[in-house]
């Protein structure tokens, strides 16, 4: 009988009659993102040769809590690495650099055989290439697992996955914890930050609720976070008693989701817990059984941090101190970014300030607009719209190409502020992709998609005809939006649009087509608590959300 083992964080292990597969195994003792994130609860008791004696390793995307070089370098010769085909070669390059030898790029939605008995896997990327994330659909000996990891599927994609699997999903694993530097790295007053954190947490729960309701899996399981932070410099981001912020644990997620979708079966698993996909029988891991999210967590984290102290010190040592060439590296780096995409530059249209601390640092401004990129190493801009404060040693790693911008942003080893406080998806998109094919794919996606399909929504007594698909990343607003007070919020990444004008009010984004419909009084009355008449399965939404920066990992 096929089994599914939770390996910690987003890691899954599938054991079928004729193959063994790992998905996004993450065991590195240095954690991920400059030694910032660590597996939580810890899973190092599973870091044994038996775990890696597999035929397949599926890697969903390039983030280092999913693509672990410490695993990929010690796979058996027979193991092949499966990865979604993305517009840019970044993931494949990282896999090769990590030591992966036999790499297979999977075509979205095409089943790829895992054995000769009918088992297969396919990948389901997010609609927009702005985010290189992909779910995995694995059918093992006739049993289906939809591993959503960090991908934000639309309801339509999730339904299509279920259909492709034969109409039944045995397990659906969903991310319920944030993975973003917003708002926790931003300069907000505490009460504002807490409110944003709460809104984002609830918004993520609601997005999962919507997706699970659309598919009705036999069992839904929160996973893929949160991490914990073992470097003393970052310990403030660890969970504290009270509200969980943007990092709710899986048991807190199950509590909320069970209350709001009570007919659905939910479960929280820990590293090493195994479920028999045929019978549903669960075998708890004896080591993880001793863990508690609530009892003795401070001591647990203190012991864990002590165990990882040397590994974290090695990350600091590897970064080294910045040299006198730091300003020139900075200028050269942004000069190169300025050549990649006039489309992105025109949509950024702002000045970004970098306050670089430590040796050879300074206040450096980068203007990005239709004229290109201008670097001012005197910091002469009167009012930069974005400001990042970062130590020169961490910035240097980006400028030298050792890590990507997103690695630095996700490391939480920086501070940020915005004025006005609006997210600019194109700025973060340029930084995180930083290569021409990826940016061109986004431009093509945004400029060639069919924007003509319309739906009608209601805001109180007023009806509006709007574009069906979100101008940000294509979420189907017929099932993926809520309307509150004349503002439509797309549940894809929480961008908000004023229905009177179509203008995005909380992020830099193309406007949503929106036109008031004459004779609105004849439209059907909204259901209680539901303003969006065209969306048959929408939730009422009492709580507005913060925009999701990292795509949320996009902030």
Instruction: Please work out the total of residues on this chain that contact ligand FES, with binding judged by CB under 6 A.
Output: 9
Q: Find the shortest distance in angstroms from Cβ 347 to ligand FES.
A: 15
Would you tell me how many other CB atoms lie within 10 Å of the CB of residue 518?
8
Q: Parallel, antiparallel, or unpaired: how do β-strands 11-15 and 3-8 relate?
A: antiparallel
Q: Find the shortest distance in angstroms from Cβ 158 to ligand FES.
A: 15
Please check whether residue 270 is in contact with residue 6, taking contact to mean a CB–CB distance below 8 angstroms. yes
- What is the SS3 assignment for 522-535? HCCCCCCCCCCCCC
Q: Which is nearer to ligand FES, 10 or 473 (CB)?
A: 473
The pair of three-digit structure tokens given for residue 338, joined into one six-digit string: 């300025």
- The contact pattern for ligand FES, residues 378-417, with x = CB under 6 A and - = no contact, is ----------------------------------------
Q: Tell me the C-alpha distance between 303 and 309, whole Å.
A: 10
Would you tell me how many other CB atoms lie within 10 Å of the CB of residue 171?
23
Q: Tell me the C-alpha distance between 399 and 420, whole Å.
A: 27
- Residue from 114, 105, 151, 145 nearest 130 by CA: 151
Contact residues for 349 (Cβ-Cβ < 8 A; gap 6+): 368, 369, 370, 508
Q: Tell me the C-alpha distance between 146 and 208, whole Å.
A: 13
- Candidates 73-81, 343-351, 372-380, 488-496: pick the segment binding ligand FES (CB under 6 A): 488-496
How far is CA 550 from each of CA 30, 181, 207, 409, rounded to the nearest angstrom? Answer: 22, 7, 15, 9
Contact with ligand FES (CB under 6 A) among 226, 492, 502, 546 = 492
The pair of three-digit structure tokens given for residue 510, joined into one six-digit string: 């193309």
Q: Which is nearer to ligand FES, 492 or 546 (CB)?
A: 492
- Candidates 8-16, 362-370, 374-382, 467-475: pick the segment binding ligand FES (CB under 6 A): 467-475
Contact with ligand FES (CB under 6 A) among 24, 475, 541, 552 = 475
Q: Parallel, antiparallel, or unpaired: how do β-strands 386-391 and 120-125 relate?
A: unpaired
Contact with ligand FES (CB under 6 A) among 482, 483, 490, 499 = 490
- Candidates 303-311, 375-383, 466-474, 531-539: pick the segment binding ligand FES (CB under 6 A): 466-474
- What is the SS3 assignment for 200-211? HHHHHHHHHHHH
Would you tell me how many other CB atoms lie within 10 Å of the CB of residue 376?
15
Q: Which is nearer to ligand FES, 339 or 447 (CB)?
A: 447
**Torsion angle (degrees, nearest 10) of CA 284, 290, 293, 294:** 130
Q: Which is nearer to ligand FES, 20 or 210 (CB)?
A: 210
Contact with ligand FES (CB under 6 A) among 52, 86, 388, 495 = 495
- Candidates 117-125, 211-219, 355-363, 491-499: pick the segment binding ligand FES (CB under 6 A): 491-499
Q: Tell me the C-alpha distance between 523 and 479, whole Å.
A: 19
Contact with ligand FES (CB under 6 A) among 350, 473, 478, 499 = 473
Q: Which is nearer to ligand FES, 186 or 495 (CB)?
A: 495
Does 493 sit near ligand FES (CB under 6 A)? yes
- The contact pattern for ligand FES, residues 365-384, with x = CB under 6 A and - = no contact, is --------------------
Does 440 sit near ligand FES (CB under 6 A)? no
> Rounded to 5 degrees, what angle do the CA atoms 442, 386, 372 make?
55
Strand partners, 157: none
Q: Find the shortest distance in angstroms from Cβ 129 to ligand FES.
A: 12
- Candidates 16-24, 45-53, 319-327, 485-493: pick the segment binding ligand FES (CB under 6 A): 485-493
Q: Find the shortest distance in angstroms from Cβ 183 to ligand FES.
A: 17
Q: Which is nearer to ligand FES, 9 or 472 (CB)?
A: 472
Q: Find the shortest distance in angstroms from Cβ 153 to ligand FES.
A: 11
Does 533 sit near ligand FES (CB under 6 A)? no
Question: HSE (CB half, 13 Å, CA atoms) of 288?
Answer: 22
Q: Which is nearer to ligand FES, 391 or 425 (CB)?
A: 425
- Candidates 135-143, 190-198, 357-365, 492-500: pick the segment binding ligand FES (CB under 6 A): 492-500
Q: Tell me the C-alpha distance between 43 and 34, whole Å.
A: 19
**Torsion angle (degrees, nearest 10) of CA 393, 399, 402, 407:** 80
Q: Find the shortest distance in angstroms from Cβ 495 to ligand FES.
A: 4
Q: Which is nearer to ligand FES, 39 or 127 (CB)?
A: 127
Q: Tell me the C-alpha distance between 97 and 72, whole Å.
A: 10
Q: Tell me the C-alpha distance between 66 and 409, whole Å.
A: 16
Does 472 sit near ligand FES (CB under 6 A)? yes
Q: Parallel, antiparallel, or unpaired: how do β-strands 415-418 and 362-369 relate?
A: unpaired
Q: Find the shortest distance in angstroms from Cβ 150 to ligand FES.
A: 14
Question: HSE (CB half, 13 Å, CA atoms) of 210?
Answer: 30
Does 6 sit near ligand FES (CB under 6 A)? no
Q: Which is nearer to ligand FES, 143 or 493 (CB)?
A: 493
Q: Find the shortest distance in angstroms from Cβ 369 to ligand FES.
A: 23
Q: Tell me the C-alpha distance between 93 and 249, whole Å.
A: 32
Contact with ligand FES (CB under 6 A) among 208, 257, 470, 488 = 470
Question: What residue ranges bind ligand FES (CB under 6 A)?
Answer: 470, 472-475, 490, 492-493, 495
């Amino acid at each position: 009988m096929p089994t599914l083992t939770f390996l910690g964080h987003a890691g899954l292990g599938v054991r079928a009659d004729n193959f063994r597969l790992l998905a996004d195994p993450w065991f590195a003792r240095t954690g991920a993102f400059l030694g910032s994130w660590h597996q939580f609860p810890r899973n190092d008791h599973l870091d044994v040769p038996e775990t890696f004696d597999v035929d397949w390793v599926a890697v969903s995307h390039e983030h280092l809590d999913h693509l672990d070089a410490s695993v990929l370098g010690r796979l058996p010769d027979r193991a092949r690495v499966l990865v979604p085909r993305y517009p840019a070669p970044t993931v494949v390059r990282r896999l090769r650099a990590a030591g992966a030898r036999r790499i297979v790029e999977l075509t979205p939605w095409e089943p790829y055989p895992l054995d000769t008995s009918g088992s297969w896997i396919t990948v389901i990327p997010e609609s927009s290439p702005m985010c290189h994330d992909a779910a995995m659909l694995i059918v093992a000996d006739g049993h289906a697992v939809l591993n959503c990891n960090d991908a934000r599927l639309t309801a339509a994609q999730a339904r299509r996955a279920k259909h492709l699997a034969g109409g039944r999903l045995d397990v659906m694993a969903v991310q319920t914890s944030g993975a973003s530097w917003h708002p926790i790295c931003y300069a907000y007053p505490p009460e504002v930050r807490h409110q944003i954190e709460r809104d984002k947490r609830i918004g993520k729960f609601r997005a999962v609720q919507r997706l699970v309701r659309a598919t009705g899996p036999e069992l839904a399981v929160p996973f893929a976070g949160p991490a914990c932070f073992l470097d003393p410099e970052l310990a403030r981001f660890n969970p504290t008693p009270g509200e969980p912020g943007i990092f709710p644990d899986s048991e807190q997620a199950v509590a909320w989701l069970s209350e709001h979708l009570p007919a659905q079966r939910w479960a929280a698993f820990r590293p090493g817990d195994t479920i028999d996909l045929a019978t549903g029988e669960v075998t708890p891991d004896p080591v993880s059984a001793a863990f508690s999210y609530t009892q003795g967590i401070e001591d647990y984290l203190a012991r864990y941090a002590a165990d990882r102290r040397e590994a974290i010190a090695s990350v600091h040592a590897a970064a080294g101190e910045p040299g006198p060439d730091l300003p020139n590296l900075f200028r050269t780096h942004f000069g190169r970014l300025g050549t990649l995409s006039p489309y992105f530059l025109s949509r950024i249209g702002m000045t970004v300030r970098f306050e670089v601390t430590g040796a050879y640092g300074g206040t450096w401004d980068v203007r990005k607009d239709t004229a290109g990129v201008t670097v001012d190493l005197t910091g002469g801009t009167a009012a930069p719209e974005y400001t990042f404060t970062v130590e020169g040693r961490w910035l240097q790693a980006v400028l030298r190409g050792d890590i990507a911008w997103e690695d630095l942003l996700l490391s939480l080893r920086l501070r940020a502020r915005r004025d006005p406080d609006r997210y600019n998806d194109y700025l973060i998109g340029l930084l995180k992709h930083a290569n021409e094919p990826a940016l061109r794919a986004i431009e093509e996606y945004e400029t060639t998609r069919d924007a003509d399909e319309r739906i009608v929504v209601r805001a109180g007594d007023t009806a509006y005809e709007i574009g069906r698909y979100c101008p940000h990343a294509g979420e189907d607003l017929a099932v993926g939006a809520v309307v509150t007070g004349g503002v439509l919020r797309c549940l894809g990444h929480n961008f908000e649009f004023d229905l009177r004008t179509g203008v995005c009010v909380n992020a830099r984004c193309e406007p949503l087509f929106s036109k008031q419909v004459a004779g609105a009084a004849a439209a059907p009355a909204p259901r209680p608590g539901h303003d969006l008449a065209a969306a048959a399965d929408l939730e009422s939404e009492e709580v507005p959300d913060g925009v999701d920066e990292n795509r949320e990992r996009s902030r």
